Amino acid sequence: MSNIAIIDKRERLDGQGRRATKEYIDTQAALALAREARDLQDSAVSRAEADIAERSAKLGASVSPGATVTPEFTREYELIQTSQAWLPQAREELRTLQQTVESLREKAEKARQRGEKLVTQWEDLAAKTQIYTVDTELDEIMMGYKLTFLNLSRMLMRDYMGVNWQVDHLINAVLNLPGDRRRTSTQEIIRIYRQDRDAEAMKAIARACEVLNKRELRRDGRTLVYRLVPGPGS
């Protein structure tokens, strides 16, 4: 196989690898949401079952031969009936959510395995290549930087900012914002200047600052502190 053919195939593998990486990241995000919904539904079902058992026990204990049916007794009985009528549908929804979780888990695992296989194929081709041009090497290095940047950008938006933007919007709305850095003996303060014309972006940045500060990250013996502040002259 010629070097040109190998390079072409490696470029195709790069594209397939990026798609596999994106699918894995997107599926993991969907999986996290599905697990959260399943856990909430599971808690709701458990609470309803426990409530029915507790109310039924109290209602049974209050019943005695010849006793008059009170409004309180009727109200408790109706509450039990309502909860019992809701439970079958709730349990079915819980089963559906669990199936969704399992399906997404399998999909994420397949995407991960496909990505690993593509990496192996890419490395095998790299080992067969005899001639590299300087431009080709630089392209590969830049491709690695680009993939790393894309993955970090998606992680920033998903795990810290709570948004699902396109990367170019993240760059324009957030990464190009001015700011400064100040150091004390115990802190390194990263200040981002607020741009009030984009309220949505400022809300996302404030959320990211809050999440980062809770992690109490450290660099060179100082605690990193992130703040969204008015710009100079505001």
pLDDT in tens, 94-140: 999 999 999 998 988 888 888 888 888 877 776 666 545 545 666 77
109 and 140 within one domain:
no
Give residue 134's pLDDT. Answer: 46
Give residue 75's pLDDT. Answer: 85
CB 203 within 8 A of CB 186: no
Confidence band for 145, pLDDT divided at 50, 70 and 90: confident
142 and 213 within one domain:
yes
153-197 residue pLDDT tens? 999 999 999 999 998 888 988 888 899 999 999 999 999 999 888
34 and 79 within one domain:
yes
Parallel/antiparallel/unpaired status of strands 187-194 and 222-230: parallel
Q: How many CA atoms lie within 13 A of 139 on its CB side?
A: 10
Strands (E), the chain: 179-183, 187-194, 218-219, 222-230
Structure tokens given for 178: 């001015």
The CA distance from 77 to 6, in Å, is 75
Lowest mean pLDDT among 31-45, 98-112, 135-149: 135-149
The CA distance from 13 to 1, in Å, is 16
Domain that holds residue 84: 3-130
Average pLDDT, the chain: 84
Give residue 12's pLDDT. Answer: 82
CB 154 within 8 A of CB 25: yes
45-55 residue pLDDT tens? 999 999 888 88
- Residue 141 pLDDT more than 50? yes
User: Which pTM value belongs to this model?
Assistant: 0.44
More confident residue, 72 or 215: 215
87 and 58 within one domain:
yes
**How many structural domains is the chain composed of?**
2
40 and 21 within one domain:
yes
Give residue 114's pLDDT. Answer: 85
152 and 69 within one domain:
no
174 and 104 within one domain:
no
Q: For the chain, give me the number of helices (H) and strands (E)?
A: 5, 4
- Residue 213 pLDDT more than 50? yes
Which of 101, 130, 159 represents a domain boundary (last residue)?
130
The CA distance from 21 to 43, in Å, is 33
176 and 67 within one domain:
no
176 and 84 within one domain:
no
178 and 136 within one domain:
yes
Give residue 64's pLDDT. Answer: 66
Give residue 223's pLDDT. Answer: 94
CB 190 within 8 A of CB 167: no
* CATH number of residue 79's parent domain: 1.10.287
More confident residue, 78 or 187: 187
Q: Which among 119, 94, 114, 110 has a CA at the least distance from the CA of 27?
A: 110
Which residues, 6+ apart, have CB-to-CB distance to 101 below 8 Å?
31, 34, 35, 38
For the purposes of burial, counting CB atoms within 10 Å of the CB of 220, is it exposed (0-12), middle (13-18) or buried (19 or more)?
exposed
CB atoms inside a 10 Å sphere around CB 45: 16
Confidence band for 1, pLDDT divided at 50, 70 and 90: very low
112 and 220 within one domain:
no
Which of 103, 130, 157 represents a domain boundary (last residue)?
130
171 and 191 within one domain:
yes
Percentage, residues of the chain above pLDDT 90? 38
The CA distance from 54 to 46, in Å, is 12
Which of 113, 130, 147 represents a domain boundary (last residue)?
130
